[in-house]
Structure formats: structure tokens, C-alpha cells
Structure 1
Amino acid sequence: MTMNTTIDTPPQPALTPAQRELFTREGYLIMRGLAAAERINDLRRVTLEHVEAHIAPIEYEADVAYPGAPSSRGAEGGDTPRRLRQAYDRDAVFADWAADARLGAILAQLLGSDTVYLSRNHHNCVMTKSPRYSTATAWHRDLRYWSFETPRLVNAWLALGDETPANGCMRLLPATQHMQLDPKRLDSDQFLREDREDNAELIDTAITAELAPGDVLFFDAGLFHAAGANTTDERKLSVVTTYYGPDNAPTPNSRSARLEPIAVRTAAHA
């Protein structure tokens, strides 16, 4: 495993036993105010510049073909960016955040390792949910198309503005990272089939992850989650990065191994 970047960080405050237990049991943890206002402003500025200039690589709403999305890039709203891809290599402000000392220290504790690796192949993006043409994302696990030795990966979702039900904030199904579901409960794209009674009962357990600017939602890559459409007048911007430990690795020659990871050295806490 190649180490592109190594960052030595000073000791960071440890998570409490209750925080660790919550993540292990429920599969998520919200840390409030983890990113400072100045950093949020810089991330927002660069994001909006890249969105307005359509700086590639970009995924458009028309590309995903979710229900309600524009039918093609040539249709009305078809040039609506859904997310800016390859954030780490896109601008230094994103790379600095992905290797942030406080972020890395928390990830080290959640993964139980002094070293964590940033995947440049999955997430590594800025979600840019627009007001008019954004689509809802159905219930899914991020692991559905990923290829790793183990399912132990953690996502970090940084809010660059308020995230509420009105603008399509994240919803989570607690503890579902531990569940083995009958394949019949999923459709051909590995989304939960909402027409099934057993899935409806599971979805009734959902919690809503409302965030303020600078808050970070950490969640297990095996946790079922979903998000609604943006019904407000402003874009919802979120930086999303994915990490794993040295006891895990992408499957050789898979999409998960296409780009080399970034090694972030941190001080893990026992």
C-alpha cells in the first residue's frame, strides 16, 4: 500500500467511552463544530467556484437517473451538478480537510489504528444538492459496489451549511451495519425495497441527522442511509470522505484500488 502523504499530528482529545460505544452499536457519531468557520468559508468558496465553472470531474443529476432527475444532460436541469468528484486532488482546501489532525484522530479511534487511509476512489467528493433539480437517494449501503478485504470503512460527512429535512439531510437506520438481509429485500441496484412490509418496519426506525456548518457525521459504510430532495432556495454543500485502517485493503484490480490511497498518520487513543 503506497503512502502518498504522511501527516504527523499532536495528540488529540479522546472520544468518550459513550461516543465509542454509540458508534460501535448504532454505526454513527456526530461531532459538533469540528471544522472552524474560516475553513468552512474557504471550502464553500472553492466549491461554488468549481460548480459555477463546471470544473471536471463532475457527476450531474442526469447521470444517476434517479426518480425525478432530468432525463439527460441536454434536458431542462440536465446540467445540474450532483457532486464534484476527486476532491482531494481538486484543490488544497479539500486535501487539507481530508488530512485534518482532529478529523484523523477521531477516525483513528473509530478504526482502532494509529494509521488511517483515505480512499481516493470512493466518495472523495463534495455533494452539491441544488434547489430545483436535486433528487432523493433511496436507502442503501455504501459498501454495495465497493471491493475491500473487510467491510470496516468509515465515512466522514462535513456539513458546509445547515442540513435539515427541508434541504435533504441524511437519514440513518441505526445498527443496520450489523444486519444480514435476505437479498429479496433489495432491488437490482441494492436499494431497500420500500414495497415490502419488513423493510417498512425497518425504515420506521430511521433517525434524522440534522447538522450545522462545521458538524461532521461519521458513519459506518455498512449502515443503511438515505437523503431527500432539496426543497429550499439554496444549495446544500457537504464534503464526503472515506477511510479504512491497515488491517483492510481494496481488492487488487478492482475499482476500489484504481487510485492510490492517502495515508494519514494520527495519534490513536486506547
Structure 2
Amino acid sequence: MQDRFTERQLQQFQEDGYVVVRGMVGESIWQRILQVAIDDLGREVQPIEYEAELNYPGAPSAMTDTGGRTARRLKAALSRNAIFMEWIVSRGVRGRLEQLLDPPVVMPLSHHNCLMTKQPRFSSDTGWHQDVRYWSFSQPDLVSLWLALGPEYRRNGCLRVIPGSHRGSYQPEQFDSEQFLIPDLEANTKLIDNAVDVELDPGDVLFFHARLFHAATRNFTEEPKFSAVFTFRSFNNSPLPQTRSSSLPELLLTAPEPPKN
């Protein structure tokens, strides 16, 4: 397996805002990560974000309702098990990120850094949004990677994306108060008509730009879905002071160049 993107993959990322590397992660690694997710969910190891806390369509209305303690994401993934650091610093991850971002590469721990799950019956729909809607950096050019820990397809809530939307400019009136696209506006309908499903097999990795519009339905199957998601920035793309983006430490993924004499 190559440790870097091909020229064609790089071109796709620049044009579409995303690229999928099939079979990037071996079964021995993704199975270990999946087991951490299953074990920590079963023991309800905090911190956890619950569906009822967000009030998205399909979620329970309150924590006290039936299904109210349905997890949406297990936060602080990097601190849950050494396997995450082992994978994040692997050559295949670092090499590709250095092609997309100006090295050295930094991993903010305040965004993503989580195990996503969609549980049967009480998972929710996520509207069309860009992750930068609630991130605060000097530039919007961050990259997230999404590792599938099982099959992902439309019926169990796979990610849907709008290719090329990371390059567009948008008006405030296209968004609701939560910064989701208003789906029945004509300008937004034209955008959403171009959406594609990002179907993944376990071990596949999706790299996507923080300005790429994406969404997902709830899980309509009887089996839970798990994914690991992390975000990265260039060293010179600093978080803005006194924002959520600067609220936690960060991991320097690749060393800066030594100073010249």
C-alpha cells in the first residue's frame, strides 16, 4: 500500500474537496479500533455526546425519553487507547496529510477526535453543513479523515457530500440559525441535487476539506455503525484566541524543519 496520494487523487481532492483511499487501514488495526468503540460504548466511558443533546430529526427529545441515552459520538478518542496514536502517526496518514496541508501538520483536539456511531432506532439526521461553521481558525483550510469501521451505505447513514462545494461562496440567507443549508431554497436545491453517497467498506478512509458540504441520514438498519474521525491543520493556520478551537491542547504530528544556521 502506498504511503502517499497519487497525482490523480490529489487532483480529485482539489477539485471535489474529498478523496477516498480504499483499504488504507489493515483489518488488524481497524478491528482493534472498533473493539475500543464497542467496549467504551458498552461501559459508557465518558466523554460522550448523546443524540438527545442535539435535537436533530429522529433523535429522542430528552435524555429521560426512551432511547435518550443513545450515543452519537465517543469524544476524546486519542486518549482512549494507544491504537489511535499508533495509527495517526503512521506513514500512510502523515504522508498524505503533508500533501494536503503545509507541513508541519497539527491535530487540534478540540474538534472531531472522536468515534462516531449511529445506533439503530434512535439515531438522527444531520443536515447539510460545513464543519468550519463552528470552527475558528485564521484560515478555513483544515482536513478531516474518516475511517470506516464497518460497511457504510445510504441506509445505515453513510456520509453524503456535494463535490466541489468547498470552492464556492455562499450567502448568509442560505443558512438557518444553526448554519445548516435551508433545503427548500432554490440556490440550495441546485447544490443538493449534485450530492453523492460516500459508500465505504471497513478500512476505507475518506479525506475531506472542512468547507465541503456534507450530510447524513439516520441509521435505518438493525446494526450499529461506527467510524473514527479526526481533523488536522497546517502549523501556520492557528486557532483564534478565546474560541472553542483554542480551548484544548494540540498534537504536533510532524516535526517542523530545523532552523537554518
- Name the residue aligned to 2:106: 117
Distance in 2 between the 1:13 and 1:213 partners?
A: 18
Amino acid in structure 1 at the alignment position of 2:59: A
1:106 aligns with 2:96: yes
Q: Deviations over 1:206-263 (max 9, x none)?
A: 0110000000000000000001110111111000000011121111221101111101
- Of 114, 121, 137, the residue aligned with 1:132 is 121
Identical-residue share of aligned pairs (%)? 44
Amino acid in structure 2 at the alignment position of 1:151: P
Amino acid in structure 1 at the alignment position of 2:101: L
Q: How big is the shift at 1:98?
A: 2.5
- Of 45, 51, 54, the residue aligned with 2:44 is 54
Q: Deviations over 1:111-154 (max 9, x none)?
A: 142x2111100000000110110001000000001110101100
Q: How big is the shift at 1:53?
A: 0.7
Q: How many residues align?
A: 255
- Name the residue aligned to 2:259: none
CA contact (8 A) 2:102 2:235 kept: no
- Report the 3-state secondary structure (helix = DSSP H, G, I; strand = E; otherwise coil) of the residue aligned with 1:65: coil
1:41 aligns with 2:23: no
1:243 aligns with 2:232: yes
| Greater displacement, 211-220 / 93-102 | 93-102
* Superposition pairs of residues 1-270 of structure 1, within 5 angstroms: 13-113=3-103, 115-265=104-254
Q: Deviations over 1:3-39 (max 9, x none)?
A: xxxxxxxxx6432221111101110010011111011
Distance in 1 between the 2:253 and 2:137 partners?
A: 19
- Measured at CA, do residues 204 and 42 of structure 1 come closer, stay the same or move farther in structure 2, by a change above 3 Å? same
Amino acid in structure 2 at the alignment position of 1:109: Q
What TM-score, normalized by structure 1, do the two folds share?
Answer: 0.92
CA contact (8 A) 2:155 2:220 kept: yes
Q: How big is the shift at 1:101?
A: 2.1
Distance in 1 between the 2:197 and 2:206 partners?
A: 11
CA contact (8 A) 1:159 1:239 kept: yes
- Measured at CA, do residues 18 and 266 of structure 1 come closer, stay the same or move farther in structure 2, by a change above 3 Å? farther
Q: How big is the shift at 1:107?
A: 0.8
Distance in 2 between the 1:15 and 1:237 partners?
A: 25
- Please report the RMSD computed on the Cα atoms of aligned residues, expressed in angstroms: 1.3
- Report the 3-state secondary structure (helix = DSSP H, G, I; strand = E; otherwise coil) of the residue aligned with 1:66: coil
Alignment gaps of 5+ in structure 2 = 257-261
Distance in 1 between the 2:255 and 2:206 partners?
A: 19
What TM-score, normalized by structure 2, do the two folds share?
Answer: 0.95
CA contact (8 A) 1:104 1:266 kept: no
Q: How big is the shift at 1:178?
A: 1.1
